[in-house]
Structure 1
Amino acid sequence: MNNQPEPKNQPRSLFQNWLSVIGAILSSVFFAVILVFVTLDFLGKEHNPYLGAVTYLILPIFLTIGLLLIPIGAFRERSKRQKRGYVRRFPHIDFNNPLHQKWAYTSIAIVTAFLIFSMFGAFRAYEFTESVTFCGKMCHVVMEPEYVAYHHSPHARVTCAECHIGPGADWFIKSKLSGSYQIYSVIANKFSRPIETPVKNLRPAQETCEQCHWPQKFFGAIEQDYEYFLPDENNTPWQTRMLMFVGGGAPQFGKRGGIHWHMNINNKMYYIAADEKREKIPWIKMIGPDGTEQVFVDEESEYSSENPPKGELRRMDCMDCHNRPSHNYKSPSVAVNEAMAFEAIDRSLPYIKREAVKALTGEYETKEEAVTKIRSKLMEFYQKEYPEVWTGKQVSLKSSIDEVARIYEHNFFPEMNVSWKEYPNHIGHMIFPGCFRCHDGKHKTETGNAISHDCKSCHSIIAQGPPDMPETSVDGLEFKHPEDIEEMWKEMACYDCHTGGAD
């Protein structure tokens, strides 16, 4: 065993230079700060998006810079010594030397601990960037509308990444590359207000939606109850109960028809939209189970089966109808109807439906201004027009006004120019064309075969009218408008009158 002492005239270590020392100090400080922040993150009851970003995304960058400065400083020091005539030597390690053994074991322990810590940090960084908190709160102004709407949606317990990224490494990488530009857009203030839709690089629904929803199992009918309130003094209620023919799926599992017929795995539907938002669809191609093709063209358009619009030939999937599954901004009329149906707004307050919708459709610069003015408008109305209500129903009136304010906070975001108007919902056909983009009776083949415009293809009304005395029939009823508009509802589309505001 060699116990000879080290020569005393050895040059000082290459790491004894100001750059390496600064790197060592920086890396030590940032490593200690990261440890403290990781502890705070684990002990915290609520996840703070900024703490997570600093801990797992920003501080590791500075830690890495500090660590890189150490060998860079040593390399520069060696270069200087070579210029001064020092002979270039590689480090001499003798494991028979107790001092060398000590340094080797210490170095291995430190490197191993650092690698374990780095793997943990990398996983936490991955986990954090996939979290709802990161997606919704990091870019607060930009993503606030989506984040708020998401938390009030049927998918509130499904993470953003499960729908927007899905399983697999390929889309994970694509999402991070896309996200890098989005971060730049936020920092450089280059993002659009509101965020443009539809999202062009969204993963196909078959790879995301169908991880939970199983098209082959869609069959039968679902009962839907709708309760509406007229904008009159009594807020007259009107109930519509209908069977929605879900249908679709594979033939062996259910009826080959209904709404989800489009998604029958034996059918292929293609279309070309004439606009960016896919609200105007003049050209449609259907390929049946036997391979037969039919092209339907809007007879009022300039196109033909051989002359389609210039644009993307898109195969129809879930998102073409369910385009707002988690980020749906309800119109004032719909939101107030729902709140009154669930008695969050007192339906006995005179004209509350009309006045609430009117207050919600006002023009406001900020959310704070909107909430203040909505409260003020409603209170002034009842103070002036119904003083007996103002004095006799203070508690009910206050809670109802609070609910109207909440409706605004959940569905309107003036800083991002977001409301129901900017994001059409293609489910149904009351406020937006939706189903009638294709099912308008005007899309026909060259032989005159038209896409069905029959209401009973998708639903059957089994009850309608005042809740205390509705008209009912298991065989289905002809639609009856709550207000007497004679036969106009047959000649016009619902959305021609119903805009979502003061209908």
Structure 2
Amino acid sequence: MKLPPSSKNWLTIIGSIIACINLAIIIVLFIISTIFDKGSTDLGLFIYIILPGFMILGLLLIPVGMIRARKEQSKLSSRADARFPRIDLNDQRHMNAFIIFTISTIIILFLSTLGSFKAFHMTESVEFCGTLCHEVMEPEHTAYLKSPHANVACVECHVGSGASWYVKSKISGMHQVIAVMTNNFSRPIETPLHDLRPAMETCEKCHWPQKFYARSLRTIKYFLADSANSEWDIILQMKTGPEYSDLGLSEGIHWHINPAIDVSYKSENDKREIISYIKYTDKITGEVHTYKNENISVTDSSLAASETRSMDCIDCHNRPSHNYSSPSAYFDKAMLTGEISNKIPYIKQVTMGILSERFSDKDTAMMKIADSITDHYRSELTGFYDTNKELLDNSIASIQKGFAQNTFPSMGVRYDVYPELIGHQESEGCFRCHNDQFKSETGRVISKDCNLCHSIIGQGKPGLMTYSSIRESLEFEHPVDIGTDWKEINCSECHKSLY
């Protein structure tokens, strides 16, 4: 086939070879991933992003080579050549080039459209977000898979709808890719994310305030660190809203995001764990109350310089899909489901002692968990160990599983690095504000009364439970007798250390 002389140069030939080879590889890999269902995130990255990039590079080399060749031919020619190439379809060489260009353009446009569509969906997938950067995102992806939002794609919360946030996310993603490639990222990743899309534009697309449930019952089972791993149950009525749902968000936990009011605050650190100033505004009446924490000394100039944040879902539900359970929490869950046997004396006490340590890597942790528990029972309870080795091995496997799902030494991730702020058992949570220390100029106090958020309907050991009516509340009884200390200190002061 005759082609213009300018096409006969090494740069154009090399560009054609690069483009054709990459196109062939793309087609083969596409067939493998589509027909034979052998796709993966890494394969998709090559098919829709990396290989098309090289193919486009090859295509660009073709006209560049032709332009350079034409200029060289002009220098060797005695006649003055035209500024722009002449296209004469009566010339067979030009006709051949035109046909090749037209067919190639149609094919490339079709493949580009298909590839762009596939690339868009691939970069929006959970697998792309969670598995491509394995070390960095392993903790987040693992926690996500066992979360209540495991069927919700990452982008539904982290990006949401609309072109503007899509563009922002991709720009941010480029920065993150560079950070990963250069190994220039913090371990653990710093939180909270200050550029996260507002909750009302993401969370409230599904969890809209007008349809929050009024109240609910929650039964929690704990196991004590004694010889019998004694069970202790507590039944709470959670006051997420008023007693009657028709009253909307007039009271209860979700009152904080009532559209008719605004609760804003200033924090003493980026973690939003130490709050020094709170402002309440009634948008309807214009009523305003400001509160300052009496135990935190802050100047007016410092307050003025601090960021003011309006409270939304994320201020309490800060780990809705990426929560890392404490060893005590995942141990209790495993014992409840029978994965850890409650017939093993002191198994919780022994386990908490081991898991309170910090490990350099996951393999070391797995080995230490198995060896320490085995050695303890082999030396301290030899008779029990000899007759219950299988029971002990199964329990060890469950403890290792819980550790692997919630602790990631390579990224510095533990339950206390990313505390969950809903509740108050292992973090300050509610007590950041509800601590009897915030007072307004008029003497109003933000109460620490537990009954504001929940009432205790039942508590105690199975068979010895104490109950109240649904409209009353029992006084909290600590499972272990610590006197009145539980009234004077926050729960997290002990429980975050696994006691």
- TM-score category (smaller protein): over 0.9
Unaligned ranges ≥5, structure 2: none
2:58 counterpart residue number: 66
Q: Does 1:369 align with 2:364?
A: yes
User: 1-side partners of 2:259 and 2:249: how far apart?
Assistant: 13
Choose from 237, 240, 245 the match for 1:243: 237
Displacement of 1:251 in angstroms is: 8.6
Deviation at 1:167, TM superposition (A): 0.5
Percent of pairs with identical residues: 40
Instruction: Report if aligned partners of 2:362, 2:404 keep a CA contact under 8 Å in 1.
Output: yes
Q: Tell me, in whole angstroms, the C-alpha distance in 2 between the residues paired with 1:46 and 1:452.
A: 58
Q: C-alpha separation between the residues in 1 aligned to 2:281 and 2:300?
A: 14
CA contact (8 A) 2:4 2:94 kept: no
Q: Secondary structure at the match of 1:226?
A: strand
Look up the match of 2:267: 273
| Structure 1 residue 184: Cα displacement | 0.8
2: CA distance between counterparts of 1:250 and 1:171?
A: 38
Does residue 1:75 correspond to 2:67, yes or no? yes
Three-state SS of the structure 2 residue aligned to 1:327 is coil
In the alignment, residue 325 of structure 1 is paired with which amino acid?
Answer: P
Moved more, 217-226 or 387-396: 387-396
Q: Is contact 1:234–1:348 with CA below 8 Å preserved after alignment?
A: yes
Q: Which stretch shows the higher mean deviation, 189-198 or 10-19? A: 10-19
For 2:105, the equivalent position in structure 1 comes to 111
Matched ranges for 1:88-487 at <5 A: 88-89=81-82, 90-94=85-89, 104-105=98-99, 107-247=101-241, 254=248, 256-288=250-282, 289-303=284-298, 308=303, 310-474=305-469, 475-487=472-484
Q: Matched residue of 1:464: which SS? A: strand
Q: State how far apart, in whole Å, the 1-side matches of 2:29 and 2:300 are.
A: 63
Q: Please say which of residues 159-168 and 387-396 is displaced more in the overlay.
A: 387-396
**DSSP 3-state at the match of 1:369:** helix
Moved more, 378-387 or 417-426: 378-387
Matched-pair contact (CA < 8 Å) for 1:219–1:254: no
CA-CA distance at 1:128 after TM superposition: 1.1
The 8 Å contact of residues 431 and 499 in structure 1, kept in 2 or not, is answered as yes
Displacement, 1:87?
Answer: 4.1
Deviation at 1:44, TM superposition (A): 5.3
1:18 to 10, 13, 16: 10
Structure 2 vs 1, CA of residues 148 and 141 (structure 1 numbering), >3 Å: closer, same or farther? same
Give, as a single letter, the amino acid of the residue that structure 2 aligns with 1:206.
Answer: M
> How many residues align structurally?
493
**SS of equivalent to 2:416:** coil
> Alpha-carbon deviation of 1:395?
2.8
Is 1:249–1:261's contact at 8 Å kept on the other side of the alignment?
no
Residue 433 of structure 1, CA deviation:
0.3
User: CA 1:65–1:53 in structure 2 vs 1: closer, same or farther (change >3 Å)?
Assistant: same
Given the alignment, which residue of 492, 496, 499 partners 2:493?
496
Over residues 267-300 of structure 1, what are the superposed CA-to-partner deviations in whole Å (9 max), with x where a residue is unaligned? 1111110111010011010111312111011011
Residue by residue over 1:78-115, the C-alpha shift from the partner in whole angstroms, topping out at 9 and shown as x without a partner, is: 111222235435333337x8887676555433321221
Does the 8 A contact of 1:249 with 1:260 survive in 2?
no
Matched position secondary structure for 2:305: coil
AA in 2 matched with 1:88: D
Deviations 1:15-66 (A, max 9, x none): 1111000000000001101111112222454642221212211111111100
In 2, the alpha carbon distance for the partners of 1:103 and 1:160 equals 47
Most deviating of 104-113 and 329-338: 104-113
What value does the CA root-mean-square deviation take over the aligned residues? Answer: 2.2
SS at match of 1:282: strand
Deviation at 1:304, TM superposition (A): 7.0
Shift of 1:13: 2.0
Q: CA deviation at 1:308?
A: 2.4
Write the distance in 1 (CA, Å) between the matches of 2:101 and 2:307: 59
Q: Distance in 1 between matches of 2:168 and 2:289?
A: 36
Which residue does the alignment assign to 2:27? Answer: 35
Pick closer, same or farther for the CA change 1:47–1:343 going to 2, 3 Å.
farther
CA displacement 1:301-328 (0-9 Å, x = unmatched): 2237897263211111111000011111
Report the secondary structure of 2:118's partner residue.
Answer: helix
Match of 1:55 in 2: 47
With over 3 angstroms needed to count, the CA separation of the structure-2 counterparts of 1:346 and 1:397, relative to structure 1, is same
Query: 1-side partners of 2:398 and 2:432: how far apart?
Result: 34
Q: Distance in 1 between matches of 2:39 and 2:402?
A: 26
Deviations along 1:97-136, one digit per CA (max 9) or x if unpaired, are: 8887676555433321221111111111111111111111
The amino acid that maps onto 1:342 is T
CA distance in 2, matches of 1:44, 1:125: 19
Deviation at 1:173, TM superposition (A): 0.4
Please give the alpha-carbon distance, in whole angstroms, between the structure 2 residues aligned to 1:113 and 1:253. 61
Asked if 1 retains the 8 angstrom alpha-carbon contact of 2:436 and 2:445, the reply is yes
The residue type paired with residue 371 of structure 1 is M
Alpha-carbon deviation of 1:389? 2.6
Task: Tell me the amino acid that sits aligned with residue 17 of structure 2.
Answer: I
Give the whole-Å Cα distance in 2 for the aligned partners of 1:320 and 1:189.
30
Equivalent position amino acid for 2:473 in 1? G
Pairwise CA distance, 1:388: 2.9
Q: 1:357: Cα distance to partner?
A: 1.8
Q: Deviations over 1:137-156 (max 9, x none)?
A: 11111111111111111111
Unaligned runs of 5+ in 1: 1-9
Letter of the aligned partner of 1:374 in structure 2? I
- Contact between 2:3 and 2:96, CA under 8 Å: does it hold in 1? no
Distance 1:106 1:189, change over 3 A: closer
1:361 deviation in Å?
A: 2.2
